[in-house]
Structure 1
Amino acid sequence: MKVFVPGHVTFFFSPRPEEGGSIGVGACLDKGVIMEAHSGRKRDNLSGIRREVVYDISKELEGEVHFSGRAQLPFKHGLGMSGALYLSVLLSKSIELGLGKTIEDIGEIAHSLELRRGTGLGDVIAQIRGGIDVRLKAGGPKTGKIEKLLPRKNYRVSIAPLGELETKEVLKSEKVLSRFRSVGENLLREFLESEGDLELAVELSKYFFEKTKLGKLMEMSNEFHLLGDSLDEKGVTWGISMLGKTIVSISRSGIERRVIRKTISRYVKPIECRIDPCGARVI
């Protein structure tokens, strides 16, 4: 059975590890992980995904299957790809073997994997729903509370991946978590009071980045700062995906999109997406 799980960008968040997750705002992308489980075939066909990682995830559920799949976005760039991989492997296997588990059941297992491995705090609950996510209560799909918004305009999202980053390396400091918590709480309050949309969320990500001193913590490259300055000069709405060395820009017209593509291309090949409105699903 073939499934799709969207990638996910987090614009700002407040970690709540004691509650099993985080609150904050992000958005799902129409690129992520496509995965198919086979109970009969004996050969795997994986592109951009390490076989040993897939089978390590697969052990969370009983039974044997083989997998075919591909990653449409890079890992370790703050694009929710660990959560997308966990969810896609487990969901495709569960459906193929008829294990009778709901998407929430699978989501809880995937969310638990994220927490144990330190690869994320809130991607999975958002990836199940799709759209723009406002995470109001920390936790997995069964315990967390999330509000789903749809974009008010037909936005395109342009992604500039400027370097790898291990999420767990950033989240291991209690001092850093405390700083994230207070700034993230304030921004979520502002977003809700303003009845915010995608543009506000993207803009607030820069404030989160500055106030939490992430630039110093993540050792951002010179290209990151140069690209940000160039996008500002063009009047582009842009922000940063947490936690990654990745700039995310949004556009509303073909002209604006071409300007963004040309600007990003000076530094790295851009990845272009839309907001995925549906979340994890069979395809």
Structure 2
Amino acid sequence: MSDEAHAFVPGHITGFFTVDRGDDPIETGSRGGGLALSDGVSVTVSRSVETEITLNGDDIEMEAVERVLDALRTTATVTAETPLPLGSGFGVSGGLALGTALAANAVFGHGLSYNELVTIAHGAEVQAGSGLGDVVAQARGGVPLRLEPGGPQFNYLDAIPARSRVEYVTLGELSTADVVGGDTETLTAAGERALSTVVKEPKLSTFMQAARQFSREADLLTPEVKTVIDDVAEAGGDAAMAMLGETVVALGTGLSDAGYDATVCAIYPPGATIEDEG
């Protein structure tokens, strides 16, 4: 045990997904595919009488983090830093939840395994309504394909064995709860088709094509995002919409070549990890 511990969780952009409800939060989740990013969430957990959460220096309330600490029967100060925007499809809430679970386990000596901590964070995200598949993907890293939904006891993951420079531009926010809380039959059917396409040909180019098709078929593609994707295509690049956010992600120099002032990162093969224990 120590006074504080630090964890790093990669960001995660979802290209396509389903909504799969189970009888229990850890059975609930999504199938789909995404990119784990080198831009992520750095989380520090330290001992405290009362729980306090800050993100980039600002006090915030985040239900998923509070649920993680409640599950661990712990109060703590959670300090997070990230270059990623909140609510724009980068898995920031999932990163905070998973980073909190990993770091709190180290600080308070709970002695839980990696999968147990991922399960706690996944269940917290599901119950908070802020995500269905980010946590398990962020734990895996790389280009994870979620073939079965839920936490580690229930899901089945594979991956596309590839790395790439990644660029992104954020235009605004979309509410995860609003999208996954409504009628998701059409969305899930589109996600199943996209996943099937990528499983048959697990390449980054196929992933991007499937992601573009999913955003259209699920009726999530906004005019602003479509314009950017079309601009990248005209410049010879490969881009798609990040779920769920008004965000465009491109491989290589796709956005830069199209004239956009993009943020640059890369696919991040390792999953979430403890950085040190203070």
Residue correspondence of structure 1 range 14-163 to structure 2 within 5 A: 14-18=18-22, 19-39=27-47, 46-47=55-56, 50-53=59-62, 56-57=66-67, 58-151=69-162, 154-163=163-172
Describe the superposition over 1:8-47 as per-residue Cα deviations: whole angstroms up to 9, x where unpaired: 1111112211351111111211111101122389998741
Deviations 1:114-166 (A, max 9, x none): 21121111111111111111111111122111113331xx5110011110111
- Structure 1: tracts of 5 or more residues without a match: 252-256
Contact 2:232 2:257 in 1 (8 A): no
Distance 2:250 2:57 in 1: 24
Q: TM-score, normalised by structure 1?
A: 0.85
Instruction: Give the residue type in structure 2 aligned to 1:193.
Output: K
- Compared CA separation, residues 240 and 264, structure 1 to 2 (3 A): farther
Post-superposition offset of 1:48: 5.8
User: Which letter does structure 2 place at the counterpart of 1:156?
Assistant: R
Identity of matched residues, %: 30
Measured in 1, the distance between the counterparts of 2:259 and 2:118 equals 34
The 1-side partners of 2:41 and 2:167 are apart by 18
Task: State how far apart, in whole Å, the 2-side matches of 1:44 and 1:72 are.
Answer: 17
Q: State whether residues 49 and 75 of structure 2, in contact with CA within 8 Å, keep that contact through their aligned partners in structure 1.
A: no
Q: Hey, what does 2:250 align to over in structure 1?
A: 249
Q: 1:189 to 1:45 in 2, by over 3 A?
A: closer
Question: Given the two structures, how large is their TM-score scaled by the length of structure 2?
Answer: 0.87
Q: Distance in 2 between matches of 1:49 and 1:280?
A: 23
With over 3 angstroms needed to count, the CA separation of the structure-2 counterparts of 1:181 and 1:44, relative to structure 1, is closer
More helix by share: 1
3-state SS in 2 of match to 1:228: helix
Contact 1:150 1:277 in 2 (8 A): no
User: What do you get for the CA RMSD once the two structures are aligned?
Assistant: 2.3
Equivalent positions of 1:169-248 (< 5 A) are 169-174=178-183, 177-194=184-201, 196-215=202-221, 220-222=222-224, 224-248=225-249
Q: Secondary structure of the residue that 1:162 maps to in structure 2?
A: strand
Structure 2 segments unaligned to the other structure (5+ residues): none
Deviations 1:206-228 (Å, cap 9, x if unpaired)? Answer: 1001112213xxxx354x23322
List 4+ stretches of structure 1 deviating above 4 A: 40-46
Q: Which moved more, 1:51-60 or 1:81-90?
A: 51-60
SS at match of 2:78: strand
79 and 16 in structure 1: CA distance in 2 versus 1, 3 angstrom threshold? same
The one-letter amino acid paired with 1:137 is: E
Q: Are the structure 2 counterparts of residues 129 and 155 from structure 1 closer, same or farther at C-alpha, using a change threshold of 3 Å?
A: same
SS at match of 2:18: strand
Aligned partners of 2:15 and 2:241 also within 8 Å = yes
Other-structure match for 1:164 = 173
Residues 1:164 and 1:241: Cα distance change in structure 2 (over 3 Å):
same
Conservation of the 8 A alpha-carbon contact between 2:37 and 2:268:
yes
| Closer, same or farther: CA 40–171 of 1 in aligned 2, 3 Å | closer
Q: Are the structure 2 counterparts of residues 237 and 282 from structure 1 closer, same or farther at C-alpha, using a change threshold of 3 Å? A: same
Number of residues of Structure 1 aligned to a counterpart in Structure 2: 264
**Aligned 8 A contact 1:77 1:161 in 2:** yes
How many Å apart are 1:281 and its aligned residue? Answer: 0.5
